[in-house]
A and B are shown apart, each in its own frame.
Chain A
Amino acid sequence: MSLSLLIDPTFSSAPGTDGSRDLFPDDGEYVGAIAGLQRDTTILHDLPDAVFIELYAYEMLERSCEFAPKVRGEETWRVPFWPASLLVAADISVHALREIERMMAVFDSIILVNRPQTALVPESNRVLGALRFDPELYVAAVTDQARIEGWEVQS
């Protein structure tokens, strides 16, 4: 049994073509709720960025708790952003990510796909309801994280 995580901020345009499991699919409840709030309310504008970044991280946790018991053989999950790097890029130093990460599935490997900064904007709107971080800082933070953790980096 082997579980990999693919961090790629452009995967939503071509979902599932490589057989991986999308943790933030367009037709999922989470993305549907963000889209609904965007359409119907001013909540996404009025509330702090930290609220939605933590909710994003928690969605990763919840889906990992749902899917982890079903993993057989090799499996790859896909997410657009790495939560810790989002927090760095949004200058949020007080958060509950450490506790969320402790409850999350353990990945045998993590693959980071490098994309241009412009690719981050539509994906942030889709899963965070707005651009809630500095794209330049995010790329620097996630690249740094990949180097420290020894993740595979693809361009």
Chain B
Amino acid sequence: MNSSSRCSLNPAPGPLSWLFPEMVAFEPGQIGSLVDLTRRPYTAAELQEHLGSYAEVAVADGPRGRSLCRILKAAFRAGGPRVRLDDSIPQLESSLVELAAAAPAGEVMLDTGEWRAVTELEADQVGLLPLRPLQAFEDIDVVKRAWSTGCRGRVVPVFLTDPSPAEQAYTRLPEPWWGLLPGDHYPDDLRAAHHDLLRTLWPDRFLQFRAFESYALAGFDLYDEVSRGRFDMAWKRPPSVSSRRPLVLGIDGIDGAGKTSQLKALRRYLESLGLVVGVHKIYRHGVFHETVTELTRQCAGDRNLHLWPLQRRVKLFDSIKYYYSSVVPDLQRCDVLLFDRYVQTHRAAGLGRYDHDPFAREFVSVYPEADRVYLLDLPEPTALARIAKREKSTVDENSYMLGRYRAALLEMASDPNRSDGCLVRLDGTASIADNQAKIRADVDCLLKERV
């Protein structure tokens, strides 16, 4: 036990090193009692156990350090070392800012700390090119001119971080992306010039960069997600609320698929059997829907993309609010719960937009696994024709996004591991009566199994 001791911590490599592993050589060397996550990986659990024996943990100050500091403070909230930032611990980003301030224009830094003209870089040498906030175009031009004259060193362009949010920012980059991207100061012309540079210097990594950029601009903090190690932790389904669980059925599908009509018909059928039926809509309308739709509209035209994850979390949390206020009481009262859309819609919303939806899995885990979800599958042109008569359209009511959501739902239906085996595809262009007959036959089997 090191109850009176202090441990220093250098955070694990972030997005810059994910794209350019060569950058690890530029990280400051190990000093004193430094736990250096750039050179030795720990799982979240291992790290928590190791640091728990110290009285104080000092985290290197910088974009990655600030992220890690927040995670550790939360991890030790119930007791453990005092966690604080320490700007005296050398960190790549901090040293870069200092070094670049004195760097001669058109020079790159080697991992030895020396500066060298980009034109003198040898083919197997890695040189770090600081892109200065107000002179990034100039810095990019220097390298492109050198390339046009035959230089072939391995140049890694690094934006010097700028944490101050611009008033007219259309993105809010989570801190760990800084370096790979330039904070909020990332206008379209700089993006284009940077793309052009990366395509020239690192053609084999350009698509990976675009994937990172896409997540970064949308406000996803992949570094936080990885560092938090939340997938290692005791994530689990909640215990069953009651031993007497109703049959849980859902009707899912894209807008215009005919869910409401099927739901009404199925409800009538189940009630005719003498069953107590609760009907629920986990995607609610009203004040919530109007407000969150307004928020989503601010993302139109690929602007304010940092609002996208927020509107996803708001929608997910509204389903949680609905679950505890309306679904939980019915778990005791009803024989059957019918859902107009189920958690698969949330999964499709995340997969359809970015193939990634942080925290969706955790949030929807409060809902019980459905016994069956009927997917009314409909080609998007047919769906659009059906919903054309509605008064207001959402940003997703277009052929592309409906197609993405449809594809995500179909993928879940085709892969039992992604849908808990409960998603059954029905042809949404078939008549209501035909689909209702199929649903009722299946529900009869499910009811018999329960008896």
Which A residues contact B (CB, under 8 angstroms)?
A: 29-30, 32-33, 35-37, 40-43, 45-49, 51, 54-55, 58, 61-62, 65-66, 90-96, 99, 103, 130-132
CB-CB contacts of B318-357 with A at 8 A, as 1s and 0s? Answer: 0011111100100000000000000000000000000000
Interface residues of B in 151-181 (CB under 8 A from A): 163, 165, 172-175
CB-CB contacts of B209-247 with A at 8 A, as 1s and 0s? Answer: 000000000010100100010100111101101000000
- Interface pair B324/A62, CB less than 8 Å apart: no
Interchain Cβ contacts under 8 Å between A and B, 19 examples: A33-B320, A33-B324, A40-B366, A41-B366, A42-B235, A42-B236, A43-B365, A45-B74, A45-B233, A54-B310, A55-B314, A62-B288, A65-B287, A91-B70, A93-B175, A94-B175, A96-B310, A99-B298, A103-B295
Known: A29-B324, A32-B324, A40-B239. A90 touches B70 (CB 8 A): yes
A to B contact number (C-beta, < 8 Å)? 108
- Interface pair A49/B307, CB less than 8 Å apart: no
User: In this complex, what residue of B is CB-closest to A99?
Assistant: B307
Of A42, A49, A54, A90, which is in contact with the most chain B CB atoms at under 10 Å from its CB?
A: A42
- Interface pair A91/B324, CB less than 8 Å apart: no
* B64 contacts partner chain A, Cβ-Cβ < 8 Å: no
* B137 contacts partner chain A, Cβ-Cβ < 8 Å: no
In whole angstroms, how far apart are the Cα atoms of A90 and B69 in the complex? 11
* B302 contacts partner chain A, Cβ-Cβ < 8 Å: no
Known: A46-B235, A93-B163. A36 touches B304 (CB 8 A): no
Interface residue count on the B side (C-beta < 8 Å)? 50
In whole angstroms, how far apart are the Cα atoms of A36 and B322 in the complex? 11
Known: A41-B238, A62-B287. A49 touches B74 (CB 8 A): yes
Known: A49-B70, A51-B359. A130 touches B77 (CB 8 A): yes
- Interface pair A94/B70, CB less than 8 Å apart: no
User: In this complex, what residue of B is CB-closest to A48?
Assistant: B224
**Shortest beta-carbon distance, A125 to chain B, in Å?**
11
In whole angstroms, how far apart are the Cα atoms of A65 and B80 in the complex? 42
In whole angstroms, how far apart are the Cα atoms of A4 and B294 in the complex? 25
In whole angstroms, how far apart are the Cα atoms of A116 and B15 in the complex? 41
* B362 contacts partner chain A, Cβ-Cβ < 8 Å: yes
Residues of the B chain whose Cβ atoms lie less than 8 Å from the Cβ of A47: 230, 359, 362
* B306 contacts partner chain A, Cβ-Cβ < 8 Å: yes
- Interface pair B320/A36, CB less than 8 Å apart: yes
In whole angstroms, how far apart are the Cα atoms of A48 and B235 in the complex? 14
- Interface pair A55/B235, CB less than 8 Å apart: no
User: In this complex, what residue of A is CB-closest to B184?
Assistant: A94
Of B294, B307, B313, which is in contact with the most chain A CB atoms at under 10 Å from its CB?
A: B313
- Interface pair B295/A94, CB less than 8 Å apart: no
**Shortest beta-carbon distance, B208 to chain A, in Å?**
23
- Interface pair B291/A61, CB less than 8 Å apart: yes
User: In this complex, what residue of A is CB-closest to B176?
Assistant: A94
**Shortest beta-carbon distance, A86 to chain B, in Å?**
13
**Shortest beta-carbon distance, A56 to chain B, in Å?**
10
In whole angstroms, how far apart are the Cα atoms of A30 and B288 in the complex? 12
Residues of the A chain whose Cβ atoms lie less than 8 Å from the Cβ of B291: 61-62, 65, 103
**Given contacts A41-B236, A94-B174, could you give 20 more A-B pairs where the C-beta distance is less than 8 Å?**
A33-B325, A35-B324, A36-B324, A46-B228, A47-B230, A47-B359, A48-B74, A51-B359, A58-B314, A62-B288, A65-B287, A65-B291, A66-B287, A91-B70, A93-B175, A94-B172, A96-B219, A99-B295, A130-B77, A132-B74
- Interface pair B172/A96, CB less than 8 Å apart: yes
- Interface pair A51/B320, CB less than 8 Å apart: no
- Interface pair B295/A42, CB less than 8 Å apart: no
- Interface pair A92/B70, CB less than 8 Å apart: yes
**Shortest beta-carbon distance, A50 to chain B, in Å?**
8
Of A30, A41, A49, A91, which is in contact with the most chain B CB atoms at under 10 Å from its CB?
A: A41
* B66 contacts partner chain A, Cβ-Cβ < 8 Å: yes
In whole angstroms, how far apart are the Cα atoms of A66 and B317 in the complex? 17
Residues of the A chain whose Cβ atoms lie less than 8 Å from the Cβ of B42: none
Of A47, A49, A54, A93, which is in contact with the most chain B CB atoms at under 10 Å from its CB?
A: A47
